[in-house]
Amino acid sequence: MQWMRFENQGSIGFGLVEGDRVRCYEGELFGTPEATQTLLTVADLRLLPPCQPSKIVGLWNNFRAAAEKNGWAEPAEPLYFLKSPGSVAGHLQPIAVPASYSGRVVYEGELVVVIGKTARSVDVQHAAEHVFGYTCGNDLTALELLHGDVSFPQWTRAKSFDGFAAFGPVIETRFNPVNSQLRTLVGGRERQNFALSDMFFSPLELVSRISHDMTLEPGDLIYCGTSLGVLPMKAGTTVDVVIDGIGTLSNRYG
């Protein structure tokens, strides 16, 4: 089941994808939405980020292959940062080059968890009850800002420029990441191809552990981290994040 959020003739709506069309729903996506009789053609719509998060959590060093290559130790607990909710971008939405930063910007193809039910101190056995579904994500990073000031790593600024939290095009509610691959294509050339099972902390472990630190609300996002193949992008480059079973998130940078 794939949920989509869209703009149609100036109105914002959401619904379930049915082939090349979307069945419109009324109510709240994370409540008890009700189907209508309206069917719209997806190609006629402007796709929006499929939800509006109150917070975005991103993981660092969550893949074994990347840790091994870079000489990073296995983390004892999830290492994460926060991205501004204002940094979201939807499928096919252009991402502008930051006006206040002229350094390198890298792409990071990631699996994203979408919270569907308030999670507070949840144990891992019940974490799935709080997950609405999964989507594709591109966690952009202004690389030189991270450690430009040795006295204060700027994770928030480096990760939160407008458009730096791209996700979509849909939320898939029946996705199982255990046997799935993620690929990132940059200008049509494959740059990342890794198994989602290579995580140190699985999506459900992340939901559980993070919920012991902060309350996760419906619509909140957890970017699960990335693996090998992260490189800077040139302005004008299109990046596609592909996860079989979910779809393709495509954005042009610059």
Boundary (domain end) residue, out of 26, 47, 68: 47
Query: Of 170, 132, 161, 159, whose CA–CA distance to 249 is shortest?
Result: 170
- Indicate the pLDDT class of residue 65, thresholds 50, 70 and 90: very high
Residues 22 and 131 in one domain: no
Q: How many domains does the chain have?
A: 2
In the block, which residue shows the tokens 């000031």? 149
5 touches 45 (CB < 8 A):
no
Query: Are β-strands 105-106 and 189-195 bridged in parallel, bridged antiparallel, or unpaired?
Result: unpaired
Q: So what's the pLDDT on residue 173?
A: 98
Q: So what's the pLDDT on residue 239?
A: 98
Query: Of 31, 180, 160, 185, whose CA–CA distance to 95 is shortest?
Result: 160
Between CA 48 and CA 237, with CA 99 as vertex, the angle to 5 degrees is 60
Residues 138 and 184 in one domain: yes
Residues 248 and 136 in one domain: yes
Q: Which domain holds residue 31?
A: 1-47
Residues 229 and 212 in one domain: yes
Residues 72 and 168 in one domain: yes
CA atoms within 13 A on the CB side of 178: 2
Q: What is the pLDDT of residues 73-100, one digit of tens each?
A: 999 999 999 999 999 999 999 999 999 9
Residues 38 and 87 in one domain: no
CA distance 50 to 25: 13
Q: So what's the pLDDT on residue 152?
A: 97
- Indicate the pLDDT class of residue 32, thresholds 50, 70 and 90: very high
Residues 15 and 137 in one domain: no
Query: Of 149, 127, 141, whose CA–CA distance to 233 is shortest?
Result: 141
Residues 211 and 150 in one domain: yes
Q: What is the pLDDT of residues 131-146, one digit of tens each?
A: 999 999 999 999 999 9
This model's pTM is above 0.75: yes
Residues 80 and 125 in one domain: yes
184 touches 190 (CB < 8 A):
yes
Between CA 82 and CA 92, with CA 86 as vertex, the angle to 5 degrees is 110
In whole angstroms, how large is the CA radius of gyration of the chain? 18
Residues 151 and 191 in one domain: yes
Residues 142 and 82 in one domain: yes
SS3 3: strand
Q: Which residues of 77-91 are buried (b: 16+ CB within 10 A; e: fewer)?
A: ebebbebbbebbbbb
Q: So what's the pLDDT on residue 92?
A: 98
CATH code of the domain in which 23 resides? 2.30.30
Q: So what's the pLDDT on residue 171?
A: 98
Residues 17 and 103 in one domain: no
CA distance 144 to 102: 9
- Indicate the pLDDT class of residue 238, thresholds 50, 70 and 90: very high
CATH code of the domain in which 225 resides? 3.90.850.10
